[in-house]
Amino acid sequence: MSAWGIIWRSAVVLLGLAAFVPTSTSSLGPRVKPATGYETAMLLAKELQLADSDATADGKSVVRSHGHVTPRAFVFFHGLTNSPRQYRQLADSVFEAGDNVIVPRLPWHGLKGGTATNLGRMTADDLRSVADLSINIATGLGDTVVVFGVSLGGNVAAWVAQFRPIQRAIVASPALGVSHLSTTLQTPTMNLMLRVPNYSKSDPPDTLRPDRTLGWSTRGVGEMLKLGTSVRRAADDHKPLAHDIRVLANASDGTINREAIDELVEHWLAKGAPVTFYEMADSLRLPHDIVDPDERTGRTDISNPVILSLIRGGSPTAAQGVKLLKSDSVKR
């Protein structure tokens, strides 16, 4: 066999190993150290904000407090390439209604001069750490804790729902898989993204939104999928700890893998989890990012009332373009 033949076969073997040797998620369990009161929570909040020294003004973590414990503390997790600014409308709504609110900056996002290469430095363990710290803080800021996340933030919210005993988690369009790819290929694809050299592509920066890190990174996407995988594996073994889980899909969303969302819902329901699964109608023509008021094709006048209903424990209606797909008591 020629030298090139040996090199080719070796490369195929190495790629096969990279794709099919399992990735461990054992480090992604919770680190539960909840704040024991309001003062402790605010000290932990300073720890969260200490990580923001290199962030843009709009990219910094948001902690808005009324100076005392409120009936609810809301935690919002932003999407991939975005920043806490994504939630400025929703954060204003819940704060002005009398509740405390936290919008943490996810690792390697919202940086001054940030590029897609920065996103490749993000790890699932980093995401878990921010999620844990945010819930530890929120526990001291509200009598109950409510979490909402979209896209990458949806993965983080799903992780919280699985591992932390909060009151309510709303998991919106979680990025649990690569779009247009069978679920049987999701794990090998994730493994390759985590093990082969990172490839990043940065898009031109938005001068009006310097807090956004535009572009994509294979390693960053792989780490995002790894966090979602940790939830999926844990869901095989035990019921999630959140008392009320709402999953929100968007029928017109072609960015994420819908089959992976359906599969997680099925596994949660099989474990007897308190899950309700909703879908926003395709006729609404909403983009993947249903939260950011700066999204060019967004309609927050439509999506925000739905989100506010869900986080406050209500049920969106057909008149709002929302369909109930499944719940722990209602089957499709």
* pLDDT in single tens digits along all 332 residues of the chain: 554 444 444 343 345 556 778 899 999 999 999 999 999 999 999 999 999 999 999 999 999 999 999 999 999 999 999 999 999 999 999 999 999 999 999 999 999 999 999 999 999 999 999 999 999 999 999 999 999 999 999 999 999 999 999 999 999 999 999 998 887 899 999 999 999 999 999 999 888 899 999 999 999 999 999 999 999 999 999 999 999 999 999 999 999 999 999 999 999 999 999 999 999 999 999 999 999 999 989 999 999 999 999 999 999 999 999 999 999 864 43
Helix (H) or strand (E) holding 62: strand 62-64
Domain range annotation of the chain: 3-327
Burial class (CB in 10 A: 0-12, 13-18, 19+), 113: exposed
- 3 state SS of 292: coil
- 3 state SS of 147: strand
* The two structure tokens encoding residue 173: 């369009």
SS (H, E, C) 200-261: EEECCCCCCCCCCCCEEEHHHHHHHHHHHHHHHHHHHHCCCCCCCEEEEEECCCCCECHHHH
Nearest Cα to Cα of residue 313 among 170, 171, 174: 170
- Which pLDDT value is given to residue 329? 64
CATH 3.40.50.1820 fits 3-327, yes or no: yes
Nearest Cα to Cα of residue 179 among 267, 254, 244, 74: 254
Nearest Cα to Cα of residue 107 among 133, 87, 140, 88: 133
Burial code (b: 16+ CB inside 10 Å, e: under 16) for 23-45 equals bebeebebeeebbeebebbbebb
